[in-house]
Structure 1
Amino acid sequence: MKAVIFDLDGTLIDSAPDIHAAANAVLQGEGLPLVTFAQSRSFVGRGARVFVERMEHAVTGGNDPARTDHLHKRFLHFYERAHENTRIYPGVVDVLEGLRASGFALGLCTNKPLGPTRAVLAHLGWEKLFAVVIGGDSLPVAKPDPAPLMAVVTGLGLTLSQITYIGDSETDSETAARAGARFGLFTEGYRQTAPEDMYHQFRFDDYRALPDHLKDQAA
Structure 2
Amino acid sequence: MRTVIFDLDGTLADTSGDLLVAANHCFRQMGHGDVLVHGQDAAVALRGGRMMLTHGLKRLGAYDEETVNAYYPVLLDAYAQAIDTHTTFYPGALQAVEALKAAGYGVGICTNKPEALAELLMTRLGARALFGSLVGADTLPVRKPDPAPLREAARRAGGHPDHCILVGDSDTDRNTARAAGVPSILVTFGPSGDDMAALQPEALLHHFDDLPAIVAELVSAAV
Deviation at 1:52, TM superposition (A): 3.1
CA displacement, residues 168-205 of structure 1 (integer Å, 9 cap, x when unaligned): 11221121122221111111124266333103111121
Return the letter of the residue paired with 2:128.
E
- Which residue in the other structure is 1:25 paired with? 25
CA displacement, residues 43-68 of structure 1 (integer Å, 9 cap, x when unaligned): 24554334433333333432232x22
Deviation at 1:167, TM superposition (A): 0.5
Return the letter of the residue paired with 2:208.
Y
Listed as ranges, the gaps of 5+ residues in structure 1 are none
Q: What number of residue pairs does the alignment pair up?
A: 218
- Which residue in the other structure is 1:74 paired with? 74
CA displacement, residues 27-51 of structure 1 (integer Å, 9 cap, x when unaligned): 1122124222356423245543344
Trace 1:41-120 onto structure 2 (pairs within 5 A).
Answer: 41-65=42-66, 67-80=67-80, 81-120=82-121
Deviation at 1:103, TM superposition (A): 1.5
| TM-score, normalised relative to structure 1 | 0.89
| TM-score, normalised relative to structure 2 | 0.87
- What secondary structure, in the 3-state scheme, does the structure 1 residue paired with 2:70 have? helix
Check conservation: 1:44, 1:190, Cα contact below 8 A. Answer: no
- Which residue in the other structure is 1:182 paired with? 183
Return the letter of the residue paired with 2:19.
I
- What secondary structure, in the 3-state scheme, does the structure 2 residue paired with 1:55 have? helix
Return the letter of the residue paired with 1:57.
K
Listed as ranges, the gaps of 5+ residues in structure 2 are none
- What secondary structure, in the 3-state scheme, does the structure 2 residue paired with 1:83 have? coil
Large movers: runs of 4+ above 4 Å: none
Deviation at 1:132, TM superposition (A): 1.3
- What secondary structure, in the 3-state scheme, does the structure 1 residue paired with 2:28 have? helix
Deviation at 1:214, TM superposition (A): 1.6
Check conservation: 1:170, 1:193, Cα contact below 8 A. Answer: no
CA distance in 2 between counterparts of 1:193 and 1:146 reads: 25
Deviation at 1:212, TM superposition (A): 0.7
